[in-house]
């Protein structure tokens, strides 16, 4: 393997190789990544095969005993330094992520990158506070010890590459695991900058490694590597199943967050202006958000009043270049993805579903905010995640009907409920099958709360101590009373 060159993206030097054992390595093969803003190639990125993956996992395995032995207090300063470096490099990270996946520059600068720093800062503290439990029973002292699990494989999706990677890497490192991260091939670059910053933070070689490459090649080799002790994945249900099978072959625990088809339920006792504005906000990030409430479920008496407000709010969206302040909806990630989103809309219309607004591709990779009123609850457009600016609208009669519709897909990641009644919020929130329910709000989330899905939305929980549990092995130590000093 030779040393890779970096390339300049949006005025920032970005390494294009793999980061293995503290060094940048190019390997033999590469792939091209394009910017969704103008579809121009912006980087030629190293493409790992089994050899590079084996080297990265080997480096993680070698670094593991010393990293684990540091303990939470010994690891915390590295995580804090990395958090500080992320904060000091918001502009660079935001510019690269904007060029690579077209997330709005404004929100990257204002909150998305900072949330990545917060993940490292939070987990430095949480791991130190993560307590072992002691109790006396049957003439013995019992103690639950938590030991770091070993090298962890982390596979992340293209829609929020930086934030979602830090969301997994931070708890893994804090718990004492070493990490091999494989970012998604459509947006690999911000994670390369993360590796650069980890090195600058003095992270010992091999503690944090990044292999770049294609899911079926590098990803598959990584999750099935025999030295990997944990697998954490965010992506599609289809890939999640493959990764689960690979982890199961090695009897390795895995978590998977696999997207959603969340309901946004509006009752007739809700603040309609707020509900309609939030519904229009589901087009943010061009709908490439797993937590989005993409199925609007509206109580039948307020359909007209809701739609009037919804249309007015959607009309205020500005489609365009994510670098411009006024833009609220940016281009989709990739031409193949635009085809996929357009395919969903075309099939829905051919199947007799009613187009309420939008439905068309625009310049470049932009796609109109689209609303479809299905004629059947089992229509594909209601049942499958589109991951684009496409919502559906269904009406319901009463609470029971709303709950029935909300639970009528195989997904169960998130739900949004608009109501003026606390009793109803509690009842409906409890009844909707999901990992998180927001009432009269959306997307505000405490990073220490549990996060994950039910049904085909995933398995396992991340966030707070739940992620530390995942990256640790629990052991019971039992000592005969009075036998030790
Ligand atoms: P999407 O359909 O949203 O692109 P995927 O589930 O295909 O989502 O991809 C999410 C991540 O999983 C990406 O990093 C991708 O490279 C990786 N991936 C895809 N296929 C596999 C696989 N067979 N094994 C491991 N990782 C994979």
**Token pair 């199947």 in the structure block, residue:** 351
- Residue 239 Cβ contacting ligand 1 at under 6 Å: yes
- Residue 419 Cβ contacting ligand 1 at under 6 Å: no
Residue 446 within a domain: no
CA atoms within 13 A on the CB side of 221: 20
Handedness of CA 403, 264, 110, 187 (dihedral sign): positive
Whether residues 352 and 237 fall in one domain? no
**pLDDT of the chain, 485 residues: tens digit per residue:** 444 578 999 999 999 999 999 999 998 899 999 999 999 999 999 999 999 999 999 999 999 999 999 999 999 999 999 999 999 999 999 999 999 999 999 999 999 999 999 999 999 999 999 878 899 998 999 999 999 999 999 999 999 999 999 999 999 999 999 999 999 999 999 999 999 999 999 999 999 999 999 999 999 999 999 999 999 999 999 999 999 999 999 999 999 999 999 999 999 999 999 999 999 999 999 999 999 999 999 999 999 999 999 999 999 999 999 999 999 999 999 999 999 999 999 999 999 999 999 999 999 999 999 999 999 999 999 999 999 999 999 999 999 999 999 999 999 999 999 999 999 999 999 999 999 999 999 988 888 899 999 999 999 999 999 999 999 999 999 999 989 98
Q: What residues make up the domain containing 245?
A: 6-258+453-476
CA distance 211 to 4: 13
Whether residues 241 and 311 fall in one domain? no
Residue 278 within a domain: yes
CATH number for the domain harbouring residue 155: 3.40.605.10
For a mutational test of ligand 1's pocket, the pick from 50, 101, 153, 184, i.e. the residue with the most ligand atoms closer than 8 A to its C-beta, is 184
Residue 444 within a domain: no
Whether residues 242 and 270 fall in one domain? no
Cα of 154 to ligand 1 centre, how many Å? 11
Residue nearest to atom 15 of ligand 1 (CA): 215
Residue 51 within a domain: yes
Cα of 18 to ligand 1 centre, how many Å? 18
Whether residues 236 and 268 fall in one domain? no
Whether residues 235 and 194 fall in one domain? yes
Catalytic-residue membership of 257: yes
Cβ atoms of 295 and 287 closer than 8 Å:
no
Residue 483 within a domain: no
Catalytic-residue membership of 290: yes
Q: Which of 177, 290, 368, 462 is catalytic?
A: 290
DSSP 96-111: HHHHHH---HHHIIII
Cβ atoms of 271 and 418 closer than 8 Å:
yes
CATH number for the domain harbouring residue 272: 3.40.309.10
Whether residues 422 and 288 fall in one domain? yes
Whether pTM > 0.85 for this model: the answer is yes
For a mutational test of ligand 1's pocket, the pick from 48, 188, 210, 219, i.e. the residue with the most ligand atoms closer than 8 A to its C-beta, is 219
Whether residues 377 and 242 fall in one domain? no
**Domain count for the chain:** 2
């Amino acid at each position: 393997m030779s040393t890779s060159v970096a390339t300049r993206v949006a005025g920032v030097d970005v390494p294009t190789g793999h980061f293995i054992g503290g060094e940048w390595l190019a390997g033999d093969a590469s792939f091209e990544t394009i910017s969704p803003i103008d579809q121009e190639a912006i980087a030629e990125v190293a493409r790992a095969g089994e050899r590079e993956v084996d080297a990265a996992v080997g480096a993680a395995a070698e670094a593991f005993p010393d990293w684990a032995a540091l303990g939470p207090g010994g690891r915390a300063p590295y995580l804090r330094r990395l958090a500080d470096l992320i904060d000091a490099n918001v502009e660079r990270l935001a510019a690269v992520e904007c060029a690579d996946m077209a997330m709005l520059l404004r929100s990257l600068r204002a909150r998305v990158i900072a949330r990545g720093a917060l993940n490292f800062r939070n987990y430095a503290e949480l791991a130190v506070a993560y307590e072992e439990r002691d109790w006396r029973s049957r003439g013995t002292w019992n103690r639950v010890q938590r030991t770091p699990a070993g090298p962890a494989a982390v596979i992340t999706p293209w829609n929020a590459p930086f934030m979602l990677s830090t969301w997994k890497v931070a708890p893994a490192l804090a718990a004492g695991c070493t990490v091999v991260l494989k970012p998604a091939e459509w947006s690999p670059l911000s994670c390369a900058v993360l590796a650069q910053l980890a090195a600058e933070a003095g992270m010992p070689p091999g503690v944090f490694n990044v292999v770049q490459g294609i899911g079926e090649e590098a990803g598959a080799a990584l999750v099935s590597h025999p030295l990997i002790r944990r697998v954490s994945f965010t992506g599609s249900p289809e890939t999640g199943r493959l990764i689960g099978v690979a982890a199961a072959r090695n009897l390795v625990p895995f978590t998977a967050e696999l997207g959603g088809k969340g309901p946004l339920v509006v009752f007739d006792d809700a603040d309609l202006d707020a509900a309609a504005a939030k519904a229009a906000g589901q087009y943010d990030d061009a709908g490439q958000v797993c937590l989005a409430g993409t199925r609007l479920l509206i109580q039948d008496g307020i359909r007209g009043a809701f739609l009037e407000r919804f249309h007015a709010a959607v009309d205020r969206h500005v489609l365009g270049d994510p670098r411009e302040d006024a833009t609220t909806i940016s281009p989709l990630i990739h031409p193949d993805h635009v085809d996929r989103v357009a395919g969903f809309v075309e099939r829905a219309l051919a199947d007799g579903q009613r187009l309420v607004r939008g439905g068309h591709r625009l310049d470049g990779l932009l796609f109109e905010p689209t609303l479809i009123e299905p004629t059947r609850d089992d229509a594909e457009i209601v049942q499958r995640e589109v991951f684009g600016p496409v919502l559906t609208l269904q009406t319901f009669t009463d609470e029971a009907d709303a709950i029935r519709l909300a639970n009528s897909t195989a997904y169960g990641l998130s739900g949004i409920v608009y109501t003026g009644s606390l009793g109803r919020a509690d009842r409906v929130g409890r009844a909707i099958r999901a990992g998180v329910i927001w009432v009269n709000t959306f997307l505000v989330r405490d990073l220490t709360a549990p996060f994950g899905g039910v049904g085909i939305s995933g398995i396992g929980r991340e966030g707070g101590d739940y992620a530390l549990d995942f990256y640790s092995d629990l052991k019971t130590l039992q000592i005969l009373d009075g036998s030790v000093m």
